[in-house]
């Protein structure tokens, strides 16, 4: 009797709670392994995408743009300095041309000197000045040594904190250096005395020549160890062909400078 009653109650309880005893997985509306389930949201999906400015390609582009801007600024500063130097050179050239024209008007009655003759006379004058520089060096050093050997400057030699013979040698060399500096002036006077008829025309041609040099020479501030200034004063020019070569050297300097910049 008791067993039948308990069995009946257990069956009733199971029948009443059949819905409550179902597992949680059976109550879910979708299987977690089903293909129709909604995809889980990635933790990084809420983070906004990186801006293009921080990508490697954008950084490279930005670096290249900065380099181009720096190069443009460098070129602008170089061109401004070159323009300023060129304007100063043009002013000097114009002043030299005006002085040459004034000298030409002052010596209008004298024969015109061509450029080849001018360069020959200029070379001859340089040689005469060099010869007188050597001669005056020997004469001044010999005369100074002879005077010092007499003992006239013993009091001065005693004040030098060196060996007396060494001090006398330095003084003799100083006399020789003074003679070397006096040589070009004396040589120029001798040359003008020898070539007096070309004196006025030489002055005119020199004014015109230096006006051309100032007009076409390069800016020395742009020189470097690998690109030195080619004969800034034109001292090595001794002919018309040499002047043309000098112009080529100036153009080569400017071309190499633009290549480096």
pLDDT band at 245 (very low <50, low <70, confident <90, very high): very high
**Residue 49: per-residue pLDDT:** 46
Q: Which residue would you say has higher pLDDT here, 26 or 252?
A: 252
Please give the mean pLDDT across all residues of the chain.
75
C-alpha distances out from residue 15 to 3, 20, 21, 23, 26, Å: 18, 10, 10, 16, 18
Give the Cα separation of 246 and 128 in Å (integer): 24
Record the pTM: 0.56
pLDDT digits (tens, 9 = 90+) for 169-213: 888 999 999 999 999 999 999 999 998 888 888 988 999 999 999
Choice between 9 and 220, residue whose per-residue pLDDT is larger: 220
Residue 253: CA count within 13 A, CB half-sphere: 22
Six-digit token pair at 35?
């293909």
Between 144 and 78, residue with greater pLDDT: 144
User: 2-19 pLDDT, tens per residue?
Assistant: 445 444 444 444 444 444
Query: What pLDDT shows up at residue 255?
Result: 83
Q: Kindly report, residue by residue over 49-93, the tens digit of the pLDDT.
A: 444 445 667 777 777 777 777 777 776 665 555 566 556 666 666
132 close to 186: Cβ distance less than 8 angstroms = yes
Q: Tell me the mean pLDDT in the region 231-241.
A: 90
Q: What percentage of residues in the chain have a pLDDT greater than 90?
A: 28
To the nearest 5 percent, what fractions of the chain are helix, strand and coil? Answer: 75, 0, 25
Among 130, 114, 137, smallest CA distance to 198 is for: 114
Task: Tell whether the torsion through CA atoms of 71, 77, 82 and 83 is positive or negative.
Answer: positive
In a 3-state reduction of DSSP, which class is residue 182? helix
């Amino acid at each position: 009797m008791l067993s039948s009653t308990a069995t009946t109650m257990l069956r009733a309880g199971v029948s009443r709670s059949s819905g409550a005893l179902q597992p949680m997985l059976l109550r879910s509306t979708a299987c977690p392994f089903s293909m129709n389930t909604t995809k889980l949201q990635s933790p990084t999906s809420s983070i906004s995408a990186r801006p293009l400015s921080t990508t490697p390609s954008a950084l490279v582009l930005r670096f290249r743009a900065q380099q181009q801007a720096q190069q443009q600024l460098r070129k602008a500063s170089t061109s401004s300095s070159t323009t300023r130097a060129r304007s100063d050179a043009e002013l000097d050239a114009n002043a030299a041309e005006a002085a040459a024209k004034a000298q030409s008007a002052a010596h209008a009655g004298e024969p015109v000197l061509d450029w080849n003759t001018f360069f020959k006379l200029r070379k001859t004058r340089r040689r005469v000045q060099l010869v007188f520089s050597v001669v005056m060096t020997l004469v001044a050093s010999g005369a100074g040594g002879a005077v010092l050997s007499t003992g006239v400057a013993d009091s001065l030699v005693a004040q030098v904190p060196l060996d007396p013979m060494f001090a006398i040698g330095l003084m003799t060399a100083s006399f020789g250096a003074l003679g070397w500096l006096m040589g070009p002036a004396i040589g120029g006077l001798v040359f003008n005395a020898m070539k007096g008829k070309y004196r006025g025309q030489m002055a005119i041609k020199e004014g015109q020549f230096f006006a051309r040099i100032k007009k076409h020479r390069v800016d020395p501030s742009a020189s470097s160890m690998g690109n030195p200034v080619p004969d800034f004063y034109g001292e090595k020019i001794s002919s018309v062909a040499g002047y043309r070569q000098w112009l080529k050297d100036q153009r080569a300097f400017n071309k190499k400078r633009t290549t480096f910049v």
